[in-house]
A and B are shown apart, each in its own frame.
Chain A
Amino acid sequence: MTAAPTEYSPRVSRGAYLRLGRELMGLAWKRVPGRVVLVFGLQAVQVGLTAAIALGMRSTVNDAIQGRAHSALVAGVVVALACTSSMFCTSLVGGSTLYAVEKTALLDLMPQVHRDIATLEGIEHLERTDVLDRLTVVRTGMWMLMFGLFSAVRVFFTVLQLGVTLLLLGSIDPWLMSLLVFAGVPLWWERLGKRGVIRAETDTAEQVRLQRHLFEVATTAGSGKEIRVAGSGTEIARLQRAAFDEAVEGRYRALVRASVLKLAGWILFTLGFAGSLWLIVYRAAHGHGSIGDIVLSITVATTLRTALQGTVSESSGAAQAGRVIAPYLWLRAYVAEERARVQGTAMPPETLSEGLVFEDVTYVYPGTDRKAVDGLNLTIPPGSVVAIVGEYGSGKTTLVKLLEKFYRPTSGRILVDGTDLAALDTDAWRARSAAAFQDFGRFKTVFSHNVGFGDLPRLEDRAAVQAAVADANAQELVRRLPQGLDTELGTETGGVDLSEGQWQKAALARASMRTSPLLFVLDEPTASLDAPSEQEIFERYMVRARSLSRRTGAITIIVSHRFSTVAGADLILVLADGKLVETGRHDQLVDLPGGRYADLYGLQAAAYSAS
């Protein structure tokens, strides 16, 4: 079993957390320095205001008791303004945080992630479902990452606020600082409860997804047909409700546990607080301190509680971000490793003169030990049309992907006119190829771009696009589109939806855009087309293949299970379990006794024989 490149680990070291935090804050600082200053500055001010409010309250009460009308009036105004300022700060900090988070996440973090995903040389990162899940978390989680950072900042200031509060209490009587213990326990219990809730959310995520799936199934017209005929609508609504209720039940139980813990904690706090008040009253009775102290400690205790609860919710916000951090750091390490691999620099030849040579090429999918291509030795002469035949999983598509440098061989090498493919500049090599794949791309944009993407510099070249459309026999399709070439595709954005066959024609047209490829790949390109279309396209592409072959020695590779496309090839490769089992022309293979090709052909021919 080969090791997957850059193993994923859900654990992140403290150092990595801090480094990432510093880096993200640096990004925010560069993007919105003013807002970052506001967030830090105003939160610091708020810490000061906490003290000002408490002290102001004490003096209004004390001044009033001592009959100092003017001071009492001023102190009252000070308290009112301090309270208002605190409200002002909260609002401004909230708004600025949102602003900083959005801008940094959307303009700095996300673009890099998308660019990395779209421009890595290989595609292995998009073909493993576990990796795809991780990528989805990263793609959609950049906000959460930034929010987590700002939550952490807030936790820091809340802790400062706690410190100031305790100092104030301590200024009345050092014993009052013991209230910290009564506050610390609820904090701890509340965190415990929150953690349970997050765990419950993870545990019930499957049920949430299931209910969403059943809702989709029930409300989509396509599946609605079958559901109605089967009479299953009510049952599906029941299953959906059951999944929903199960998820809610699990989360509710965790919330109840959290709530009991929280309640116990706050009752403890209330008792401690009542005790502190009693202490202050007792001191006042013995001539220490003032009534103002009572007001101060009541105020402070309220702040204490708000601060503690703030700490809990903000730190659970930061914990949410933790789910994104590990996948994000993994992606960056993976990208760094991929980009650090030796990149080819050689330019592809103008024309092919020796063709393609496979030297003992083996490919093993990362994380598995199955050889998708197994010790392939093969020479493809320049200018030839090659057909690859084989059952599902025989390695047909892998072979093509190796040629397009989507994968690098695990061992062995592929030579292009004597140069190792790995040594060729990937972009330059791909710029000299064109391909239509079985699971071709569907770009939800205007039709003309779907074609024009085949030769990006000529994206807006209407004549070139029209010519490619004609090559793919798609003029009729374009004519029937409401806005012709300018028709928007994809229902999600209000466009038209194409059928499988129509998308396929768009993909074929795209493959016809480049004028002088050295490698032309058609991977089951016509599976969804009707036979006349297929036939016509195939004939056109054969003509094209021959003319390319004359001009540049281009090699055309066709992967197909249809004999109509296979029989006319110069060379047929029959693959089984990643190995090359038969090669030759149709007339050589069809009569091979016991041959795979002959067997497959015979089976299908029988179905059409006169009965």
Chain B
Amino acid sequence: MTYQTLRGLTRCARDAGGRLLTGLGILILLQNLAPAGLALATALLIGRVQHAVPSDLVAATTVPLIVFALVLGIGHAADAALEPLVYLGAFRIDGAYRARITELAATSPTVDRLEDPESQRLVRAARADPVNWTERTPGTGVMALIHIAAVFAGAVASCAVLAGFAWWLVPLIFLPALAQWCILARRHQSFMHNWRASRREMQRGNVWERTAADPGTSKDIRVYGLGDWIADSIQTHIRTAFEPIWAKLTAKDEWQVFLLVGLPFSVALAVVGHDAATGRTTVAVESAVLAAGWSIFQSLGWTDTTISVTSAGECLAAYEELRQVLEPAAVPAAVLAPDAAAAAPRELPDRVPLIAFEGLGFRYPGTERTVLHSVDLEIKPGELLALVGLNGAGKSTLIKLLSMLYTPTSGRITADGLDIASYGHEAWRSRISVVFQDFVKYELSAAQNVLLGRGNLAPDFEELELAAEEAGFGEVLSRLPAGWDTPLARTRTGGVDLSGGQWQQVVLTRALYALRKGAKLLVLDEPTAHLDVRTEFEVFQRLAERRGEASIVLISHRLSTVRYADRIVLLDGGRITDSGTHEELLARGGEYARMFAIQAERFQAGYDDHIEEGELL
């Protein structure tokens, strides 16, 4: 339990709300003071019974009985009330905590840091969504901390009861109980570490388990007769993971309880019993010692809470590290906007800008490979520009730079002559819309799926309808059982799964909605890969109609589509190697012409229906 953990958990605790925490604290305290209270109430009752005259007995015990019932009742009440409150407290904390991670990860200015495997590891470590008992959340950690404090407060109260008989009973019982607590806590921790040490093997076993039940892989498994091999391999991984854990799961240390609990407790009870019999103390005190002593051993015998604190601490440490990596402050302003570091973000004029890439170069941080070498390119206002090139040619990187998702290593991108960095991430991105190849399929309603194309603006249902109409989304929409409100995931109530082509139409609607809400540049990264030939052509024509209101950049492998662009740019090995209209490029007889000719020829001979990027080489 480090200082860092304590500080982190204390900070998280605030999310539960002051009133809840206070109430919770009081109730847990009451719950843990109840044993000491009961011991006293019992002593009171027995004292009265022992010393009362039989005829007065009933009258003399009325008050102690009521006290006893009250203490017992309060204990029960605290018990009952705590369950929902602890739940609420823990989950309020976790809810706020997870939302912090979500926001942190989803709003950091660039995406390169999030792509880093180390960041992804941190996200997994920090996410507070336990997959096994060794992982605990900050909420659980806070509750455990409160619980530990209350347990010790209760033990102190019980010790006070013991001291009423003799001071030496306190060290006699409390010290071994504390030792027992420490030993159990250590044992729990080491069990947790044993588990974690096997996590890799468990993961491997898990991967095979999922492979065995995967619909796609199931066919390979059957054709090649791999079923038994895989079942055996799952067993091997499980055995390798668990045998060391089981080997340490022995009962050989359990006897210690007789030394740490049995011995001191026996001594205490023997002495107290003897003294009560010889009149050195009363039976009332004897029964109080009995109850209080045992409650100390019992309350300090449960140590699962220490795992919660440790594990929650690890979670928070990962979050802290992640924050350092992702938070904007970690990026020096000079890197963000070299020529406008000091200046306030400039206003973007409300028109389609002239975008220029000026000597743009990019290399992934920490690698030698240069992805882009000094690219110079203009996107004229209202132009439909097609970008073609081999895999790894740098097309996606170019788009990421244009979206300010990466920061250029050299050169810059300007809009109407000004570095886009000077407008700031948010302002610039409000002017662009990108359909990525791996677009997001939200398990939300159809409407939300479109509206999240501009999630920072208030939903505009009028524009939503218009965008749908424009994208030809109507047909898909009419087949959704609850129209716009239909969740686009079968796992949701009333939800449906869409096909690849249908999703692509959702995403086109999303992009067109963004255009209607002020985007002036639309980038499409292979927008029609899942569409059949007929639909593809329709979609393309609709987009072509939009040029003028916005510039459009199209990345496609189908040269049959690309040919209709205003200008075609060839990207090869991070450099622009050719540029012009389809006709110009054909006339120039360069690489594009050669490829198109080969392609068309092959097709006419009964060959390919679409050109892949690889053919451009």
Contacts and interface: CB of A to CB of B under 8 A. Distances in A.
A225 interface: yes
B139 to A, nearest CB: 10
A132 B213 contact: yes
B224 A456 contact: yes
B257 A88 contact: yes
Given A80-B265, A441-B216, A91 B254 contact: yes
Contact of B262 (A84, A209, A291): A84
Residue among A126, A136, A430, A609 with most chain B CB within 10 A: A126
Query: Which are the 7 A-B pairs with shortest beta-carbon distances?
Result: A232-B455, A530-B614, A76-B269, A233-B106, A607-B560, A567-B606, A441-B217
B220 A510 contact: yes
B341 interface: no
A77 B96 CA distance: 52
6 contacts: A61-B46, A102-B246, A259-B80, A270-B76, A274-B72, A453-B220
Interface in A127-169: 127, 129, 132, 135-136, 139
Contacts of B200: 493
A70 B52 CA distance: 26
B277 A67 contact: yes
B370 interface: no
B421 to A, nearest CB: 15
Given A118-B230, A126-B215, A278-B61, 20 more contacts: A60-B276, A72-B273, A79-B290, A107-B235, A110-B238, A228-B111, A234-B106, A240-B102, A244-B91, A244-B99, A266-B77, A270-B73, A274-B69, A295-B42, A295-B46, A441-B221, A456-B224, A491-B117, A510-B220, A600-B533
Interface stretch (B149-157, B356-364, B438-446, B462-470): B438-446
Contacts of A107: 235, 238-239
Interface in A246-268: 248, 251-252, 255-256, 258-260, 262-263, 266-267
A282 B58 contact: yes
B219 A437 contact: yes
B489 to A, nearest CB: 8
Contact of A608 (B54, B224, B287, B600): B600
Interface in B78-115: 79-81, 83-84, 87-88, 91-92, 94-96, 98-99, 101-103, 105-107, 109, 111, 114-115
Contacts of B234: 110-111, 114
Given A77-B270, A236-B452, A534 B612 contact: yes
A578 B283 CA distance: 91
B49 A284 contact: yes
A137 to B, nearest CB: 12
B220 A507 contact: yes
A214 B262 contact: no
Contacts of B604: 605, 608
Interface string A552-581: 000000000111101110000000000000
A173 interface: no
Interface string A400-419: 01001010000000000000
Interface string B40-82: 0010011001100011011001000110110011001101110
Given A282-B58, A298-B42, A531-B615, A241 B105 contact: no
A481 interface: no
A95 B188 CA distance: 12
A533 B608 contact: no
Interface string A99-125: 100110011001100110111010100
Interface residues of A, number: 172
Nearest to A53: B294
A269 interface: yes
B579 interface: no
Contacts of B230: 114, 118
A435 B219 contact: yes
Nearest to B507: A226
B220 A441 contact: yes
A35 B458 CA distance: 62
B429 interface: yes
A83 interface: yes
B613 interface: yes
Interface stretch (B201-209, B327-335, B407-415): B201-209
Given A76-B270, A84-B257, A118-B231, A611 B563 contact: yes
Contact of A77 (B50, B249, B269, B532): B269
Residue among B119, B212, B533, B600 with most chain A CB within 10 A: B212
Contacts of B605: 567
B258 interface: yes
Interface in B224-282: 224-231, 234-235, 238-239, 242, 246, 249, 251, 254-255, 257-258, 261-262, 265-266, 268-274, 276-279
Contacts of B251: 38, 92, 95-96
Interface string A482-516: 00000000111100000101000001001000000
Contacts, number: 506
B287 A240 contact: no
B509 to A, nearest CB: 13
Contacts of B231: 111, 114-115, 118-119
Residue among B92, B273, B600, B611 with most chain A CB within 10 A: B273
Contact of A233 (B72, B98, B242, B455): B455
Interface stretch (B160-168, B471-479, B490-498): B490-498
B440 A266 contact: no
Contact of B49 (A136, A223, A294, A610): A294
B274 to A, nearest CB: 4
Interface in A393-444: 401, 404, 406, 427, 430-431, 433-435, 437, 439-444
A455 B224 contact: yes
Contacts of B107: 228, 233-234, 237
B460 interface: no
A266 B99 contact: no
Contacts of A270: 69, 72-73, 76
B301 interface: yes
Contacts of A240: 98-99, 102
Given A244-B95, A252-B88, A291-B283, A223 B220 contact: no
Nearest to B293: A80
A211 interface: yes
Contacts of A286: 54
Contact of B228 (A70, A115, A232): A115
Contacts of B442: 213-214, 217
